[in-house]
């Protein structure tokens, strides 16, 4: 397995902490479940507890940007502190922003999320390829230059995405497979710059074996997927060493105590590792 580019940092984190991406999703119902107000003060208390519990234990942490943006500039300030706190604790941060545009606008998104001079700078960001994979070039080039990553939506679990993602291209492959193949071409240099997002709650119909990059697989826990499902869904179609299952609500439900959050990360990680190693 490559030890260059983003691959080296990703492998080091996963080797040390296991295959799990823990989400930070401070939606209103969860704030209330934690006994917090649905306000910037509640958001900050939630984020600080999540950083304390997840930061030292999870390999990758995925803040859902929308739940911070909902509070405007004050919410984004909390997100900046959350990103910095998780990275300081040794976790990689994957900003779940799902950005996608063209030209100078995509370049501006790239600066926001992948440029070291930005207070939102993360180790990787989720992006949407549905304006064309080539439109992601500014993000791909910046990520490659700075040993960061982009996680490209390929086969999502929402029913509304199925018609588009399984449509056939002129080359008779599905749109989702074409995205995976474009990512594999970028990763041919061993950098693992491009990861893909493939939901764990359904059969995906993709060949991921040549990607040579991370496969973020949301859906574990509250969305219905189990650790035992992972091997059956991905075992014959992907290199499981690159699989990165993601869980959010099933872990955050253990809060607000940081120690309980850390224990939930450990238990989920151990379930994943046992399932994928059997």
The catalytic residues are 98
Rounded to an integer, what distance in angstroms lies between the CA atom of residue 90 and that of residue 26? Answer: 21
Distance CA 216, CA 254 (A): 23
Residues belonging to the chain? 278
Helix (H) or strand (E) holding 15: helix 5-17
How would DSSP label each residue in 121-142? --SEEEE--TT-GGGGHHHHHH
Closest C-alpha among 230, 238, 233 to residue 277? 230
The Cα–Cα gap between 24 and 27 comes to 9
3-state secondary structure of 237: coil
């Amino acid at each position: 397995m490559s030890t260059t580019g983003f691959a080296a940092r990703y492998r080091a984190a996963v080797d040390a902490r296991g295959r799990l991406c823990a989400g930070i999703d401070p939606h209103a119902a969860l704030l209330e479940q934690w006994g917090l107000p649905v306000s910037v003060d509640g958001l900050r208390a939630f984020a600080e507890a999540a950083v304390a519990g997840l930061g030292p234990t999870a390999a990758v942490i995925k803040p859902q940007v929308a739940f911070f943006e909902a509070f405007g500039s004050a919410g984004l300030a909390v997100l900046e502190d959350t990103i910095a706190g998780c990275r300081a604790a040794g976790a990689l941060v994957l900003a779940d922003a799902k950005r996608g545009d063209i030209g100078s606008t995509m370049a501006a998104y790239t600066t926001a999320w992948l440029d070291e001079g930005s207070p939102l700078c993360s180790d990787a960001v989720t992006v949407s390829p549905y304006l064309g994979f080539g439109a992601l070039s500014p993000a791909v080039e910046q990520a490659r230059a700075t040993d960061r990553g982009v996680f490209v939506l390929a086969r999502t679990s929402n029913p509304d995405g199925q018609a588009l993602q399984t449509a056939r291209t002129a080359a008779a492959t599905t749109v989702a497979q074409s995205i995976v193949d474009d990512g594999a071409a970028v990763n041919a240099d061993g950098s693992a710059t491009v990861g893909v997002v493939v939901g764990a709650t359904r059969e995906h119909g993709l060949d991921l074996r040549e990607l040579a990059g991370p496969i973020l697989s949301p859906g574990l826990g509250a969305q219905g997927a189990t650790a035992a499902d992972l091997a059956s869904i991905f075992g014959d179609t992907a290199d499981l060493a690159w699989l990165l299952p993601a869980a959010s609500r099933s872990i955050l439900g253990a809060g607000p105590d940081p120690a309980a959050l850390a224990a939930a990360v450990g238990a989920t990680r151990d379930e994943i590792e046992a399932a994928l190693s059997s």
